[in-house]
Structure 1
Amino acid sequence: MFSITSSYTMNASLRGGIADLQSELARAQKELATGKRADPSVALGVRASFSVSLADAQEGVGALQATNSLVDARLASTQAALDSLVADARSMRTTLLAAQTDGGQREAIVAQARNALTQFVAKLNSGDGEGFFFGGINSDVPPIANYFAEPPAPNKAAVDAAFANAFGFDQADPAVASISQTQMRSFLTGAYDTLFSGAAWRGDWSGASDKPLTSRIGLSHVIDSSVTANEPGLKDVAAAYVMIADLGAANMSDETYHALLTGALERLDRGVGETTKTQARIGVMQNEIKTSSDMMTIQSDTIRIQLHDLESVDETDAAARVNGLMTQIETAYTLTARISQLSLAKYL
């Protein structure tokens, strides 16, 4: 018995083999170019699910690091705004201290206070396009009403009403000169003081929430990640500026003006002190973010090394495999060409 295999059959078999070799070569060349396994699920077998879990963990850590960068940038901007605000307050304090001695140029001092109040509002209404830094969870609402807005904002209207109710005339009336030192002190510690606390502050001045933003800065670590315009120190700074800017300082008697300066200085001292404490809290938040980000960098590096060990290929082995496959393919093509030249007629 004997069997007959045609040249066509042999050719077809070789062509199928070449196609398989070419597919294998494409995978090998990809591995050589990328340094990674072309098909981890096939190469790793039961360890493929571990590789997927590591990749998911790496993605999660990366997302947290990106979030931390955004939160840290927001806190840095908040800190910068408070730095500038405190500097303005200290400058105002220096001016008022000098005025206690020589009275100073009242119109210039009033103008400085008006400008400082304008800047105060602008700084507390700063944001990044995504929200206001000092709004807390109400980050889409301007935290502070513009005191010099037209028509008058609720905070300006409240001060005007309190002043008129206490003295029977407005701040621009020449009768301001008749206000006694005792009357001014009583007003500043009574009706005026209530304008900058509790419901009055939240209703007339602030659109901010008492509740700050929170952020998850680690796999199981959540922190407060903002401060709000309702911080006690900010209320005191606002109260000091309005005292000088809008209670008729230019027309007061020397004694009453001195009482006003004293009241404003007390507010500024307290406001700067409290705002410095607020800045210290922000510093703690920034340190927590840095610590968490540093830990996640270590986690990310560890995961990257594990993934590399699982998915990478040896460059020398990969190159040898590519060369071997190319040799096999060339050999198969040579055999195919020779078989196609075979003919029974040549042997008859």
Structure 2
Amino acid sequence: MKYVSVGDMAQTYTMRNHNAQLKTTMTRLSEELVTGVAQDVGAAVGGDFTALASITHSLQRIESYDQAAKEMALSTSTQQTALETIQTHAQSVGSELVAAGTTGVSTSVDATLQDAAYRFSSIVQSLNVSVSGRYLMSGVATDTRPVASADDILAALKAETSGMTTATEIIEAVNDWFDQPEGSGSGFLDEAYFGSTTATSAVAVSETESAQLTVTAADPAIRNMLKGFALAALATDDTLSETARAALASSAGGQIINAENALTTTRANLGSVEELISDAQTRNANQKTALSLAQLDLIGVDEYDTATALEAVETQLETLYTLTSRLSQLSLTDYIR
């Protein structure tokens, strides 16, 4: 009978080779058990990547829609907060101005007008709100602050009303200044509004929906609101007669109340856009879940089978370590003894 002997170095190499193979298999199985995805994707799809590529592309597209929806949701929410702040100021002072102007009590008129003048500055600041360096009330000119400061607006109005002493004259001048069309060379749109009257383009937030920010600081509802508060701020001029100041207070209050009603409509329209974005995000999430499950059907692994195979490899590796230990202890000298 012939015997084939295996040298020590060859035996060591064989053991090392088995050890490396088992460790590689264990690493692969461990990764598949954790991720739930086959490491060899080509084998999992049988070499046909058509369906997998289509699903991957759809997931990437939905991810881009979802990112756009998140950004639009932040922008609309910020705009809504700014408009809410403006509306709160209007609700707080509108009726009080009318009441103060009607009663004509000097101290009441003064206090209410001063309060409105302070709120005017806060309203202007709300219109200059920005997100990630983009001004939201500037239309397409997102890199430009939309509205001049309250002090600059009042300075322009004081120049327009210089020398006027009656409430009728001042009210007419203020109305004309705010209502001047763009490009006339004077008025709010040319002197105090730095943004664009063109709204930003619609942004796709899902496969079927697009959202657009259409509110700008040049909108009539917002201009009329500014008009009312500017009238109240101008009425704080103590060189005017008490009668004129009371009349201005009453007119400013009425203007603010009317503008507040229009602002409610603006906020409702913006709320519809917020709802559209929210619905789109929900649909995107549902589609993403469905596509992820379809992807897992193609390249996923059975957790039970993978865990069983991993346990078998662990047993083989332990057995190999045991054999290696025993073989290393064999010695001809020990056998002869």
1:193 aligns with 2:175: yes
SS at match of 1:305: helix
Unmatched tracts of structure 1, length 5 or more: none
Q: Distance in 1 between matches of 2:330 and 2:245?
A: 116
- Over aligned residue pairs, what C-alpha RMSD do you find? 3.2
| Greater shift in the superposed pair: 254-263 or 138-147 | 254-263
SS at match of 2:77: helix
Native 8 Å contact 1:137 1:211 kept in 2:
yes
Aligned to 2:193: 206
- Select the residue among 285, 294, 303 that pairs with 2:282: 294
**Partner AA of 2:83 in structure 1:** L
Aligned to 1:123: 126
Native 8 Å contact 2:44 2:298 kept in 1:
no
Q: Distance in 1 between matches of 2:318 and 2:228?
A: 89
Aligned to 1:77: 78
Unmatched tracts of structure 2, length 5 or more: none
Q: Deviations over 1:152-173 (max 9, x none)?
A: x3x3343122212xxxx3x7xx
Alignment of 1:1-348 (within 5 A): 5-8=4-7, 11=11, 16=17, 18-104=19-105, 105=107, 106-148=109-151, 153=152, 155-164=153-162, 169=163, 176=165, 179=166, 184-189=167-172, 191-197=173-179, 198-199=181-182, 200-213=187-200, 214-225=202-213, 227-247=215-235, 250-253=238-241, 255-329=243-317
Native 8 Å contact 1:75 1:226 kept in 2:
no
Q: Sequence identity, in percent?
A: 21
Q: Distance in 2 between matches of 1:130 and 1:161?
A: 33
Q: Distance in 2 between matches of 1:15 and 1:76?
A: 63
Q: Count the aligned residue pairs.
A: 322
Q: Distance in 2 between matches of 1:98 and 1:262?
A: 7
Shift of 1:306: 1.4
Shift of 1:288: 0.4
Q: Cα 1:118–1:335, aligned 2, differ >3 Å: closer, same or farther?
A: closer
SS at match of 2:203: strand
Q: Deviations over 1:254-273 (max 9, x none)?
A: 55445434432342233112
Q: Cα 1:333–1:238, aligned 2, differ >3 Å: closer, same or farther?
A: closer
Q: Deviations over 1:230-265 (max 9, x none)?
A: 111111111112212115654444554454344323
Alignment TM-score, normalising by the size of structure 2: 0.81
